[in-house]
């Protein structure tokens, strides 16, 4: 019984679809002509609305795209530099200046003295603190 | 989309873009105009008003949605068409009430045979039989509740998918299935199993 209804429904769908399609394909020339004219009138709307509707929306997108492109091209033209690299290079350059410079070489000769002085500066407060407790 | 393709797509000369869009939307409207007209005629049973409704739907699609992807146009167009038909029907109900209040009559009586498709064959009997069958179908459709009729026309006549019909009808896919099932059931009852 249910199968009968399903097949009846399917037959009804096919029959009505066929009838509708025939109705569409057999429209008389006058009706077709009027529909074509209606379509042309609608398309005139597209032409009329295009300058106002499109230009403001797409120009910023174009400007943005060109800007991004320029930034990418400039960035790719530079050598790759990591954030840590400049600090390392500056330190190396300052050391090089000291070594190559013709200034006070006596300071370099007394380097051991300065290292000893630095150690003493770290030791002295500890000793004084121990002395304070004792 | 790559950046180059994006720039190419967005930075085309305006005239070129407009022409491209015009060709695309013209092809779409050419494809749907006759079917939309038949749907409008079957819904409101007035050939002249059906022209105006189809033209309004075309203009509205272009104004509001011509910038949207072409694959979205079909359900959007039928949503507009459905809304125009519904507005016309509401307006017709109000107009009919006003005219009946003043004792007048509303326009000409609808003649289904006169509105039936024109002759496509040389056999007059066949033409008359087809015209009568179409008139019977339109009459039966007119008696089906509006939402069910919309679901039936969009799904069966236009071949829209369930999801596209849901967009056109502004409802869920489940509702589309329910409306469609009930429409088929009603039409089967009113047209008879020999239709």
**B55-81 pLDDT, tens per residue?**
999 999 999 998 899 999 999 999 999
Place of tokens 């066949």: B126
Number of helical H runs and strand E runs in chain B: 9, 0
Which residues have C-beta within 8 Å of that of residue A104, sequence separation ≥ 6? none
Q: Cα torsion at A55, B33, B47, B185 (round to 10°)?
A: -120
Phi-psi category of residue B45: left, alpha or beta, with phi > 0 → left and psi -120 to 50 → alpha: left
Distance CA A131, CA A127 (A): 6
In the 8-state DSSP scheme, what is residue B154?
Answer: I
CA distance A76 to chain B (A): 15
In the 8-state DSSP scheme, what is residue B121?
Answer: S
Of B79 and B14, more confident: B79
**B121-149 pLDDT, tens per residue?**
556 777 777 778 888 888 899 899 999 99
B90, two tokens: 């509401």
Backbone torsions φ then ψ of A87, nearest 5 degrees: -65, -45
Place of tokens 């109705």: A23
> A8-18 as b/e, with b when 16 or more CB fall inside 10 Å?
eeeebbeebee
Residue A103: predicted pLDDT: 54
Residue B57: predicted pLDDT: 96
Rounded percentage of chain B residues whose pLDDT exceeds 90? 49
Distance CA A5, CA A55 (A): 57
The answer to whether the CB atoms of A38 and B33 lie below 8 A apart is yes
The answer to whether the CB atoms of A20 and B133 lie below 8 A apart is no
Say how many CA atoms lie within 13 Å of A8 toward its Cβ.
17
- Give me chain B's average pLDDT, please: 80
Place of tokens 């146009």: B73
CA distance B58 to chain A (A): 6
B160, two tokens: 């829209």
Place of tokens 């840590």: A84
Q: Is the pLDDT reported for residue B22 higher than 50?
A: yes
Please give chain A's pLDDT, 134 residues, in tens.
556 777 888 889 999 999 999 889 989 999 999 999 999 999 988 777 655 445 555 556 667 787 788 888 877 766 555 555 555 555 555 665 655 555 555 666 677 777 777 777 666 555 544 444 43
Contacts of A61 in chain B (CB under 8 A): 10
Mean pLDDT check: name the lowest of A95-109, B149-163, B171-185. A95-109
Residue A86: predicted pLDDT: 53
Number of residues that this document lists for chain A: 134
Of B192 and A43, more confident: A43
Residue A66: predicted pLDDT: 78
- Tally A–B CB contacts below 8 A: 131
Q: Closest by alpha carbon to B54, among A31, A18, A53, A17?
A: A31
Q: Cα torsion at B87, B88, B89, B93 (round to 10°)?
A: 100
Q: Which residue of B has its CA nearest to A36?
A: B30
The answer to whether the CB atoms of A43 and B22 lie below 8 A apart is yes
The answer to whether the CB atoms of A42 and B62 lie below 8 A apart is yes
Contacts of A2 in chain B (CB under 8 A): none
User: Can you tell me whether residue A64 is helix, strand or coil?
Assistant: helix
């Amino acid at each position: 019984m249910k199968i009968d209804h399903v097949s009846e429904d399917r037959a009804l769908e096919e029959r009505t679809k066929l009838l509708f399609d025939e109705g569409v394909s057999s429209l008389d020339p006058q009706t077709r002509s009027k529909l074509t004219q209606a379509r042309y009138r609608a398309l005139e709307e597209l032409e009329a609305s295009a300058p106002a509707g499109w230009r403001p929306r797409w120009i910023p997108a174009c400007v943005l795209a060109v800007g991004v492109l320029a930034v990418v091209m400039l960035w790719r033209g530079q050598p790759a530099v990591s954030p840590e690299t400049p600090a390392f290079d500056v330190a190396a350059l300052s050391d090089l200046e000291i070594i190559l410079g013709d200034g006070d070489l006596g300071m370099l000769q007394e380097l051991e003295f300065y290292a000893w002085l630095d150690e003493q500066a770290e030791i002295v407060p500890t000793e004084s603190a121990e002395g304070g407790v004792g | 989309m790559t950046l180059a393709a994006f720039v190419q797509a967005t930075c085309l000369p305006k005239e070129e873009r407009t022409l491209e869009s015009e060709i695309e939307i013209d092809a779409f409207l050419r494809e749907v105009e006759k079917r939309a007209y038949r749907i409008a005629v079957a819904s409101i049973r007035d050939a002249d008003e059906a022209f105006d409704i189809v033209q309004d739907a075309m203009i509205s699609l272009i104004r509001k949605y011509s910038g949207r992807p072409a694959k979205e146009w079909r359900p959007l167009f039928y949503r507009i068409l459905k809304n125009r038909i519904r507005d016309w029907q509401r307006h017709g109900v109000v107009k009919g009430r006003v005219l009946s209040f003043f004792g007048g009559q509303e326009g000409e009586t609808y003649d289904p045979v006169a509105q039936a498709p024109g002759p496509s064959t040389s056999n007059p009997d066949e033409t008359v039989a087809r015209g009568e069958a179409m008139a019977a179908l339109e009459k039966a459709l007119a008696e089906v509740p509006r939402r069910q009729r919309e679901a039936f026309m969009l799904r069966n006549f236009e071949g829209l998918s369930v999801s596209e019909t849901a967009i056109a009808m502004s409802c869920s896919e489940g509702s589309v299935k329910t409306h469609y099932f009930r429409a088929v059931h009603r039409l089967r009852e009113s047209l008879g199993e020999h239709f």
